[in-house]
Structure formats: C-alpha cells, structure tokens
Amino acid sequence: MKLLLRIVGVIVLLGIFVSVYVISTSWSVQRATREGFTGNVQEIGQTGGFHLLRDIAWEELDSVYRVKIITQMNRPSMLEDIATPPVRAVQSPVNDPIKALYLTMYDTSRQDDAGENVFNGQSVIEINRGPIRNIEISKQETANDQSPVIFIHLTKGVLYRLQTDPDDPGVIWVDILK
C-alpha cells in the first residue's frame, strides 16, 4: 500500500512539473515575441540628410503585419548613420474615436529638388486585415513643411514596433502585432 501511494505521489509530482514547464515555456515564447512592441511614442533615425519617400508596401508575417516605408537619400553621403530618416510614430489616444498610428517623417519629401514626384506608390492602400484598415499618405506638403505624415488607420489600439531593415537602413518597418 505504501509503495502504491509513493508511485501515485511521484506521478502527481511529475505531472505538476511537466505542466509548470509547458506553461512557463509558452509564456517565455509569447514574451519574446512581444519584445520591443509598445503602444507608446517611438522614434528612430537621424537628422542630417534629406530623404525621398519612394514607396510604401505591406506584408503579413507569422505574428505581425509589416508596413514597409521605402526611402532613399537625396544625395550620396559618406555618413551611414543618416541613412535612416527621422520618423516619429504616435498612436491615437485610447478615448479617440478615430484609431490610427501617425508616422511623421522629417527631412523627407515625395518630390526631388527639381519638383518631380518620386513617390511610386498609392496615396491610399486598402488592407482590411486584422487591426489595419488602410494606409494613407498626407497630401499636405508645402515648401516650408516637407514632412509627409503616414496614417495607418486601425480598427483598435495596437502594439507596434518601429525599426529599420538591417540590410537597408532606408527601409523602415512598422510591425503591428496580430
């Protein structure tokens, strides 16, 4: 009888150990996939160069929707740290009825020095996948303010991460968790 109780006790302890192990590993994987994601203001890039906004694209990955903002330096530069234009991302307040992620691109334009439009993409990209409704580029670019604003219209508040493509610092990624 004592032997039977010991065997049952060992099986119960083993079951508890396996359960705790499975739960803790799944939490750590989930925590790792959320690294760098926030709903707060994020900024990347360096001032010092002038950039051209070439295109905007998006793709659906395993755990995120990725918006790609493709830029290029207006002139060649020896300084690699200015290859990424300054970008500031702000999410609309929680109580705001319009849910959006606002990306302000500083030192960036859709037109070159000659006034030619170099932007190859669409001004409005309909997505309607997950929390993203569409992506819209502002049309308010004047001689004084050459900072296009990109609106990512959302269905709800999101966690997002702003970063550059490691292979091309002129490509900015906005990863939005699914």
Residues 137, 122: Cα–Cα separation, whole Å: 8
Q: What is the fold, at CATH topology level, of the domain defined by 42-177?
A: Immunoglobulin-like (2.60.40)
Q: Comparing C-alpha atoms, which of 152, 177, 164, 36 is closest to residue 91?
A: 152
Q: What angle do CA 69, 96, 57 make, to 5 degrees?
A: 15
| pTM for this entry | 0.73
User: In this predicted model, what pLDDT tens digit does every residue of 58-100 receive, in sequence order?
Assistant: 999 988 999 999 998 877 655 655 678 889 999 998 888 889 9
Residue 150, by phi and psi: left (phi above 0), alpha (psi -120 to 50) or beta? beta
Residues 81, 46: Cα–Cα separation, whole Å: 7
User: In this predicted model, what pLDDT tens digit does every residue of 18-67 receive, in sequence order?
Assistant: 777 777 666 554 554 467 888 899 999 887 778 888 899 999 998 899 99
Residues 108, 130: Cα–Cα separation, whole Å: 29
Residues 69, 108: Cα–Cα separation, whole Å: 12
Domain positions in the chain are 1-33, 42-177
